[in-house]
């Protein structure tokens, strides 16, 4: 085919080229998968296996020290609470109860003495009220108001001024020779026995329960720490045995040091906690249990004394619900029965613990209670025969003298119980502080030895690794 000049034929068209096929991108692997592959690769060589063993040993020893430090710190804190917080609060609650009961007994004694209340009896009443008020303020400052103990403290703080107001009215009427004074005194006693003492007893029970919880927490075995310690020692022993079979070398100083550090921590943990458990158990048995029994005995003696006095004040005007018996005489008998039972428990505790120093004042209290009961029966016979003045002397004595009266017997009981309580408080404090001291230094020591043991294990493994370089 011929084309005109200056005209060129169009180049033949090419078929469009196909784009190249995409290159497949390998899927992205997670960091965990990469680390797992590296770990598997390392585990196929002896140096890699040694590095893994060293890391595991260091981790186990550090975990052993950390868990030990954590668990023992918790036990030590509970033991410290026993010494510093819960037992003092329990003792304060018991003293609140005792002070209130003693104030009630003193008020009745002062009323019986006549219009001119003896100065010593009045001072005792004032001292008891001030002590109860002080302890209630202290307890309120150390107790959450929303707790059961807080509610009882609030109730007592509300009722105490009402009670003292009734006592002052009773005194004012008694000084004027008005019989209405006896009615005010009985009403005050009803408030004390029906509202205040039950609240004080609930407060004491709540605080004693919290003390028991602290005891249990402090004495709980640190099983987790002991288990990790045994596992760490087993792995350390295996690593050294493996090293011996592969190198025919008996000792690796680093692994031996790590084992020694772990053994020291494990023995310190087992022995220290065992000693602490023993001392705290001794504090509970020889101290707190006896304190609880003696506190209840003293409170029952005070309640019995108050009811004995009110029997003379009321002169049969207040009867029991069935209308057949004198209410205060019946309550006196109930209180004395409870007193005898508590003293029997105290004697048994002293006998079981071979506590001669604690058994002597309890024995004095038992003898004085027997004397008190005998004199009370004599006084009741005298009163029932119509000789009120003679019966009054047999109850409170003449003037400041209480020779041969039930009041003198009560004072002996109270003095013996005070001595017994002071002895048991000393026994508790000594044993509880010893128990707390047995745990002292263990958390810090365990952590420090664990770090040293971990470093020693790594050094021992690195010494073996250096042989491959």
Tens of pLDDT, residues 128-150? 999 999 999 998 888 888 888 89
User: How many Cα atoms within 13 Å fall on the side-chain side of residue 236?
Assistant: 31
Q: Which residues contact 75 (CB under 8 A, 6 or more apart)?
A: 217, 218, 219, 220, 222, 273, 276, 439
Q: What is the DSSP letter of 398?
A: S
Measure the CA–CA gap between 303 and 319, rounded to whole angstroms: 18
SS (H, E, C) 120-131: HHHHHHHHHHHH
Quick one: CA torsion of 164, 165, 167, 170, rounded to 10 degrees?
A: 180
Residue 319, beta-bridge partner list: 326
Measure the CA–CA gap between 229 and 68, rounded to whole angstroms: 9
Measure the CA–CA gap between 189 and 348, rounded to whole angstroms: 33
Beta strand extents in 396-439 (DSSP E only) = none
What does the pLDDT profile of the chain (469 residues) look like in tens digits?
A: 555 665 556 566 665 666 666 656 556 656 666 656 565 655 566 667 777 888 888 899 999 999 999 999 998 988 888 888 888 888 899 899 899 988 988 888 888 877 888 888 889 899 999 999 999 999 888 888 888 889 999 999 999 999 999 999 998 998 888 888 888 988 988 898 889 989 998 999 888 888 888 888 888 898 999 999 999 999 989 888 887 777 666 677 888 888 899 999 999 999 999 999 888 888 888 778 888 899 889 889 888 888 888 888 777 677 777 777 888 888 888 889 999 999 999 888 888 877 788 889 999 999 999 999 999 999 889 888 888 888 888 888 654 444 578 888 988 999 999 999 999 888 888 888 888 888 888 889 999 998 998 888 888 777 766 666 5
| Of 78, 448, 412, residue with least CA distance to 265 | 448
Helix (H, G, I), strand (E, B) or coil at 320: coil
Whether 370 and 336 have beta carbons less than 8 Å apart is answered as: no
Q: Dihedrals φ, ψ of 236, to 5°? A: -60, -40
């Amino acid at each position: 085919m011929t084309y005109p000049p200056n005209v060129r034929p169009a180049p033949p068209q090419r078929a469009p080229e196909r784009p190249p096929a995409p290159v497949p991108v390998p899927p992205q692997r997670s960091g965990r998968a990469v680390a797992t592959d590296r770990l598997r690769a390392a585990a196929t060589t002896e140096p890699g296996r040694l590095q893994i063993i060293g890391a595991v040993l260091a981790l186990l020893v550090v975990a052993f020290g950390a868990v030990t430090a954590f668990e023992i710190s918790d036990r030590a804190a509970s033991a410290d609470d026993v010494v510093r917080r819960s037992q003092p609060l329990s003792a304060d609650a018991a003293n609140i109860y005792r002070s209130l009961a003693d104030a009630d007994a003193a008020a009745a004694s002062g009323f019986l003495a006549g219009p001119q209340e003896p100065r010593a009896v009045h001072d005792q009443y004032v001292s008891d009220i001030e002590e109860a008020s002080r302890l209630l303020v202290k307890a309120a400052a150390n107790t959450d108001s929303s707790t059961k103990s807080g509610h009882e403290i609030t109730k007592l703080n509300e009722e105490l001024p009402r009670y003292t107001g009734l006592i002052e009215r009773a005194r004012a009427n008694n000084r004027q020779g008005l019989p209405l004074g006896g009615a005010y005194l009985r009403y005050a006693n009803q408030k004390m026995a029906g509202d205040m003492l039950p609240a004080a007893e609930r407060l004491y029970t709540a605080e004693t329960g919290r003390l028991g919880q602290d005891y249990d927490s402090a004495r709980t075995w640190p099983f987790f720490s002991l288990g990790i310690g045994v596992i760490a020692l087993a792995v350390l022993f295996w690593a050294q045995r493996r090293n011996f079979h592969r190198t025919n070398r008996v000792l690796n100083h680093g692994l031996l040091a790590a084992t020694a550090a772990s053994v020291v921590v494990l023995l310190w943990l087992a022995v220290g906690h065992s000693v602490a458990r023993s001392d705290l158990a001794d504090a509970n048995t020889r101290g707190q249990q006896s304190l609880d029994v003696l506190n209840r005995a003293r409170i029952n003696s005070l309640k019995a004394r108050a009811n004995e006095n009110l029997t003379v004040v009321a002169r049969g005007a207040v009867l029991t619900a069935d209308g057949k018996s004198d209410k205060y005489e019946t309550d006196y008998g109930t209180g004395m029965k409870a007193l005898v039972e508590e003293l029997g428990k105290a004697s048994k505790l002293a006998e079981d613990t071979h506590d001669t120093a604690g058994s002597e004042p309890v024995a004095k209290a038992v003898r004085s209670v027997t004397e008190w009961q005998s004199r009370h029966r004599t006084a009741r016979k005298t009163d029932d025969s119509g000789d009120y003045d003679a019966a009054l002397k047999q109850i409170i004595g003449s003037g400041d003298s209480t020779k041969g009266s039930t009041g003198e017997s009560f004072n002996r009981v109270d003095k013996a119980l005070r001595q017994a309580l002071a002895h048991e408080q000393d026994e508790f404090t000594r044993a509880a502080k010893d128990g707390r001291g047995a745990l002292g230094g263990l958390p810090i020591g365990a952590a420090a030895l664990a770090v040293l043991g971990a470093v020693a294990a790594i050094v021992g493994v690195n010494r073996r690794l250096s042989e491959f370089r």
